[in-house]
Amino acid sequence: MSQPTRRQLLVLGLAGAGMTATGGAGLWWSNSGRTFGGGQKLLQPEMLTSTNGVLQLALEAAPARLEVGGRTANLQAFNGSLPGPTLRVRGGDTIRVQMTNKLQAPTNLHVHGLHVSPLDNGDNPFVSIDPGDTFNYEFVLPADHPPGTYWYHPHRHGHVADQLAAGLYGAIVVEGPSPIPVSRERVLVVSDLSLDASGNLSDVTAMEQMMGREGQIVLVNGQISPQLSAAPGERERWRIVNACPARYLRLSLGGQGVRLLSFDLGQVREPAEVTEVELAPGNRVELLVDTRKGTSTLVATPVDRGGMGGMMGAGNDQPNNSDPVDLLHLDVSGDLAAPLPEVPAGPALRDLRNGTISGRHTLDFAMGMSGGMGNGSGGGMMSFTINGRAFDPDRLDTAVQAGGTEEWTLTNSSFMDHPFHLHVWPMQVIQDGAGDLTEPTWQDVVNIPARSQVKVLVAFDGFQGRTVYHCHILDHEDLGMMGTVEAR
Ligand code: C2O
Ligand code: CU
Ligand code: CU
């Protein structure tokens, strides 16, 4: 695509709006009534790179006592670090993970966005690893796998939001065939969590689950408002992952030149200047930052993703995201760097609109009353359904022809946005909440705004097998907003 989509691009001039509010940066942990400063140097997760076409590693999901904002928190982590290691591979590589569950609940591993087989010990969301057990995964990337920033996280139904909120996630980088000239690259994994005064994860209320929990502390690579520095005239490549269970991130970085290089997967043809990008839970973005002298803040401004409307009784019906959050501070000073070569144009993107459609499906995302609502005081749960049904791992919801291209209409009859995610096969978004898209736009998570609809085209090629699609507000997924799809 030559232009970012409307959703990704806010008209110039509005960008400053979020920049003036400071939102009490680095002063979270508000539920304990104490404040914590940021200002540490940004750390990069450990990077594990494939050699001779193979990346082999052991991943242990375990309770971890880690420092957050200068205090000790009782979290869960992969290999004891927040985030887990970054896995760096290229098309054609094989990733082998020996995954051990040292948690007290079942878990498993999902490689979000990777175009790999969903069968057996591949990216199989139906696997369950019991506490104390080990499972050996193997993910074989096709040679022409799209480059981009992906990520991994547990996907055991019923435990997904809890385990992400506790700290279990990490980035995956798939390198492209031709490198982009940059001064440096940074992986920025954004997550959120709530801790009580003694550093334990806060309990989550039924209402927070129904809304989609948003943590009171927002972290970048496990740090609160870390500090980055660069020289003017440099070009950085930021790979940003939204690993929050439910929080949307509307990001801006005033005072710097920012271009969109990639959204979820692949690479845009010509990176264009953006003032704001919006990431639903699960989305990733790669930004080119052309540095300019001064100090800039990466701010996440609140996103209105709807509420429970009049469906519940009285009480808080909005997520607690009303304040802008300072994610990190970039200090650009010193001598002007030598100029870098231009960013070469990427290859033209595949456009499925030129082909034949082998099938059509409509999926409706709905929230309704379930049994035992009681007096509406939050004691009962709403139902979260797709086409009127809650998730059943043994039921096949959508059968598709392997190798065919389908048009899916995703409708949302509820009062809240639901970010739709399909495993294994990326989606070409042809209509979003604002209307038809003209340029080929590929994503693996697409937001379906409340009371709205979205259309996508999916080429079910490369692999056969059964996997899932779901709302990436992970509380909703755990509450049943997930279905199964089989390509055969
Ligand atoms: Cu990021 Cu099905 O998940
Ligand atoms: Cu996924
Ligand atoms: Cu949802």
Please give the Cα distance from 76 to 363 (Å, whole number). 34
Residue 372, in any domain of the structure? yes
Residue 396 sits in the same domain as residue 378: yes
Residue 190 sits in the same domain as residue 137: no
Q: What are the 10-residue block averages of pLDDT along the chain, 488 residues in total?
A: 34 28 36 51 98 98 95 97 98 98 98 98 98 98 97 98 98 94 98 96 95 96 97 98 98 98 96 97 98 98 81 47 89 97 94 96 92 49 94 98 98 97 98 94 98 98 98 98 98
Per-residue model confidence (pLDDT) at position 381 = 77
466 lines ligand 1 (CB under 6 A): no
Residue 386 sits in the same domain as residue 451: yes
Ligand nearest to the CA of 211: 3
Residue 190 sits in the same domain as residue 315: yes
CB-count exposure of residue 144 (10 Å: 0-12, 13-18, 19+): exposed
Residue 32, in any domain of the structure? no
Q: Phi, psi (5° rounding) for residue 474?
A: -70, -25
Residue 242 sits in the same domain as residue 369: no
| Structural domain boundaries, residue 213 | 184-332
Percentage helix, strand, coil for the chain under 3-state DSSP, each rounded to 5: 5, 40, 50
155 lines ligand 1 (CB under 6 A): yes
DSSP-assigned states of every residue in 145-197: PPPEEEEEE---TTSHHHHHHHT--EEEEEE-SS----SEEEEEEEEEE-B-T
Residue 384 sits in the same domain as residue 402: yes
Residue 143, in any domain of the structure? yes
> How far does the centroid of ligand 3 lie from the alpha carbon of residue 482, in Å?
10
Nearest ligand 1 atom, CA 153: 1
Residue 367, in any domain of the structure? yes
| Gyration radius of the chain over CA positions | 21
Residue 474 carries which DSSP code?
H
Residue 455 sits in the same domain as residue 321: no
113 Cβ contact list (under 8 Å, min separation 6): 148, 150, 151, 172, 264, 265, 284, 426, 444
Please give the Cα distance from 417 to 433 (Å, whole number). 10
* Domain's final residue, options 289, 315, 332: 332
156 lines ligand 1 (CB under 6 A): no
* Domain's final residue, options 332, 350, 373: 332
Residue 205 sits in the same domain as residue 267: yes
282 lines ligand 1 (CB under 6 A): yes
Residue 384, in any domain of the structure? yes
Ligand nearest to the CA of 245: 1
How many structural domains are present in the chain?
Answer: 3
Neighbours of ion ligand 2 (CB under 5 A): 112
470 lines ligand 1 (CB under 6 A): yes
Residue 7, in any domain of the structure? no
Per-residue model confidence (pLDDT) at position 178 = 87
* Domain's final residue, options 175, 202, 233: 175
159 lines ligand 1 (CB under 6 A): no
Residue 52 sits in the same domain as residue 149: yes
Residue 163 sits in the same domain as residue 232: no
> How far does the centroid of ligand 3 lie from the alpha carbon of residue 430, in Å?
21
Alpha helices in 186-229 (DSSP H): 206-211
Name the residue with the closest Cα to ligand 1, atom 3. Answer: 112
> How far does the centroid of ligand 2 lie from the alpha carbon of residue 379, in Å?
30
- The enclosing domain of 88 has a CATH number of 2.60.40.420
Per-residue model confidence (pLDDT) at position 319 = 53
DSSP-assigned states of every residue in 250-267: EEEETTSEEEEEEESBS-
Please give the Cα distance from 65 to 72 (Å, whole number). 6
Residue 189 sits in the same domain as residue 326: yes
Q: Cα dist. 262→76, 265, 280 in Å?
A: 30, 6, 15
Residue 217 sits in the same domain as residue 168: no
Per-residue model confidence (pLDDT) at position 37 = 54
Residue 349, in any domain of the structure? no
Nearest ligand 1 atom, CA 477: 2
115 lines ligand 1 (CB under 6 A): no
Per-residue model confidence (pLDDT) at position 392 = 98
Residue 226, in any domain of the structure? yes
Classified as helix, coil or strand, 233 is: coil
